Chains A and B, each alone.
Chain A
Amino acid sequence: MLSQLDRLSFTVDGRYADDSELQFIADYIRSFPIRAQTYLKLQELESKLMQQTYQKVRLIDPMLFNHNGNDITAKWKQDTLRVLRYTAVTVLMDDTDTLRDRLLLWFQTIMKAFNAQRSCDVTYQVLQEVVKQNLPHAQANLVCPILELNRRLLGGSL
């Protein structure tokens, strides 16, 4: 949303925007109630989502929490929590460009440095399943595309 507003202010320099150029603002206003509800829901369910995701990922591959013989569960939780919170604000603001610029492009290189792409691939795949189980369909539909973007960028397929 903010990125789109920013772009709009450039493209309409010295003229009036037409209806199609303003459409995204109307769409955003219309979608704001469900965005706000989803944001609050993610905040409310944060620890539950984290716990369920952790347990499922652990079942899939416990070695994902082990790096060179060290238990990295705490680090995994810290990283996943950060991405989840950025995801929540991205749902609220409808701004994946900002998510990419402020977090994902940087975090992608860091995850690669630690060879954690497979862990990210599995984590954000599982988190999508957990979100679908815990949030109403319409809310999960707002969250999952962003989690999929996280998975593709951090999991190494982009």
Chain B
Amino acid sequence: MVSTEASNPVKRKYPKKHNHYGFRDFFQFDPEKGTIMDWNDSQNILTTEDFIIGLVEGLEEEVGDASAATMYTIGCEWGQKDAFFFEKWFEREFDRNVRQTNLLFLLETWWWPFTSQGWGRWEVDMGDRKQGFMFINIFDSAVARTLGDVGKPVCFLYAGLFAGFFTELVKKQLSCIEIQCYSMGETYCKFLLGGQDRIDAAAFWLNEGATARDIEKRLRTGEVLR
């Protein structure tokens, strides 16, 4: 939801303020309307961990094993839509096109609203970008933190979100897979983003018991499935 006039009084006064991700700056609570608008005039809702459990387990009950693919697809559509939304607010805030911007700065700027909203902090590792893949670490994933140690990756929504957003950003079909998850007893979640062939290979290795570190090594040595 985008309105022409900013609903946030701090934003009305300082429309070009960039460090607006603190709780009090980023969210604007309107008790009369019962709404929570963020800095970019999106409407937010507060949910509990029970909501996330209900969403994940309810979907599993409805569609069984297909729930992972469903969450991933929801994430993809969300990411694609958010890429367009982001492009607009980025250009409004910084008076420049997303394609004329330092890439890491652009990505940090994209993720900050998610950090404020409680999706966790992230770290992007673009060291292998020229080889056609990259890694994203998520600290404190809302989904994994909620579900706890269940012994398997659970952040399909995030994987879809990254695939959808980056596909729109680079205008090239990309896929994403979570290769390490807080819900597997690790300290943070790790995602691999790249072309379908690499993601398929990673999925196969993961299924065979490979760790994230094994997968990183294999990708860096150029190993893919025949």
Residues of A within 8 A of B (CB): 98, 101-103, 105-107, 109-110, 112-114
Q: Is A107 within 8 A of B19, CB to CB? A: yes
Q: Is B112 within 8 A of A103, CB to CB? A: no
Interface size class of B (residues with CB under 8 A): 10 to 19
Report which of B22, B102, B104, B112 forms a contact with A101, defined as CB distance below 8 A.
B22
Question: Among the interface residues B23, B107, B108, which one has the most CB atoms of the partner chain A within 10 A?
Answer: B108
A-B contact pairs, 26 of them (CB 8 A): A98-B22, A101-B22, A102-B19, A102-B21, A102-B22, A102-B25, A103-B19, A106-B18, A106-B19, A106-B21, A106-B112, A107-B19, A109-B108, A109-B112, A110-B105, A110-B108, A112-B104, A112-B108, A113-B102, A113-B104, A113-B105, A113-B107, A113-B108, A114-B102, A114-B104, A114-B105
Question: Among the interface residues A103, A105, A109, A113, which one has the most CB atoms of the partner chain B within 10 A?
Answer: A109
Q: How far is the CB of B54 from chain A (nearest CB, A)?
A: 28
Q: How far is the CB of B100 from chain A (nearest CB, A)?
A: 14
Q: How far is the CB of A109 from chain B (nearest CB, A)?
A: 5
| A101 proximity list for chain B (CB < 8 A) | 22-23
Contact string against A for B residues 17-37, beta-carbon threshold 8 Å, 1 for contact and 0 otherwise: 011011101000000000000
| B107 proximity list for chain A (CB < 8 A) | 113
3 nearest CB pairs, A to B: A113-B104, A102-B22, A113-B105
- Chain B binding site: helix, strand, loop or mixed by DSSP? helix
Q: How far is the CB of B76 from chain A (nearest CB, A)?
A: 25
Q: How far is the CB of B202 from chain A (nearest CB, A)?
A: 26
For A105, the closest partner residue in chain B by CB is B21
How far apart sit A114 and B102, CA to CA, in the bound complex (Å)? 8
| B104 proximity list for chain A (CB < 8 A) | 112-114
For A109, the closest partner residue in chain B by CB is B108
For B103, the closest partner residue in chain A by CB is A113
Q: How far is the CB of B119 from chain A (nearest CB, A)?
A: 15
| B112 proximity list for chain A (CB < 8 A) | 106, 109
Q: How far is the CB of A153 from chain B (nearest CB, A)?
A: 13
How far apart sit A110 and B25, CA to CA, in the bound complex (Å)? 18
Contact string against A for B residues 94-134, beta-carbon threshold 8 Å, 1 for contact and 0 otherwise: 00000000101101100010000000000000000000000
Question: Among the interface residues A98, A102, A112, A114, which one has the most CB atoms of the partner chain B within 10 A?
Answer: A102
| A102 proximity list for chain B (CB < 8 A) | 19, 21-22, 25
